Amino acid sequence: MSKQACDGFTLLEVLIYILFFAFIAMATASWMVRLWQSSCARNTKQETLITLYSAHDMLLRDIQHAPADRKQWKEILPECLIWHTKAGDVGWQWEQEQLVRREGHYHHKKKEWHKQTKNLIADHVDKVRFACVGEQEIVHISFTITAGSTIVEGVAAPLCRRLPWREEVKGVEAS
């Protein structure tokens, strides 16, 4: 048997190249998975923020159009607000991890809604708290909506109240 010199790769060289390729492929795949996971987490956080701020804006608008007279309010609880308008009753309530808005007729003594329209405003809400300031007239209502680590807070006052910059100043009424 004669040994001839031949050009090519030895089995050891091929195994080393395969090992390098496998290492680079695994590192790239690991990097892509981490990038994908962080992107999904960021998208979930953004969707939560959009949902909570949409709920914030709707609640703010409703409270601004609510009556300031406390006699027109049927429920003011930490997790529920219900007030009377000319068209019927409007209510916001946190129930079963959902923020719900209702319109219809609320029977205060029975604590139940009749002829209601129920709208799901935000889902997967961990906590909602309402706090009302004012004894006979509502000065403002503060609220906190929590979903996971995201917290959205707001303060709203009924617009029918006399606004401070519209009050008389030194005998001259501002227009």
The per-residue pLDDT for range 85-135, each reduced to its tens digit, is 988 999 999 999 999 999 999 998 898 998 889 999 999 999 999 999 988
Residue 162: pLDDT over 80: no
Task: Name the token pair of 137.
Answer: 């007239």
- Single pTM value for the model: 0.73
Q: What is the largest CA-CA distance in the chain?
A: 121
Q: What pLDDT is attached to residue 161?
A: 59
Q: What pLDDT is attached to residue 131?
A: 93
Q: What pLDDT is attached to residue 163?
A: 52
Q: What pLDDT is attached to residue 2?
A: 57
H helices then E strands: how many in the chain?
1, 10
Q: Regarding predicted confidence, which is higher, 119 or 170?
A: 119
71: which DSSP letter?
G
Distance CA 112, CA 104 (A): 11
Residue 168: pLDDT over 90: no
Task: Name the token pair of 150.
Answer: 């995201």
Q: Regarding predicted confidence, which is higher, 137 or 7?
A: 137
- 107 by Cβ neighbours in 10 Å (0-12 / 13-18 / 19+) ranks as exposed
Q: How confident is the prediction for the chain on average, in pLDDT? A: 87
Lowest mean pLDDT among 79-83, 87-91, 92-96, 157-161: 157-161
Q: What pLDDT is attached to residue 21?
A: 96
Distance CA 31, CA 50 (A): 29
Q: What pLDDT is attached to residue 1?
A: 53
Check: CB of residue 74 under 8 Å from CB of residue 84.
yes
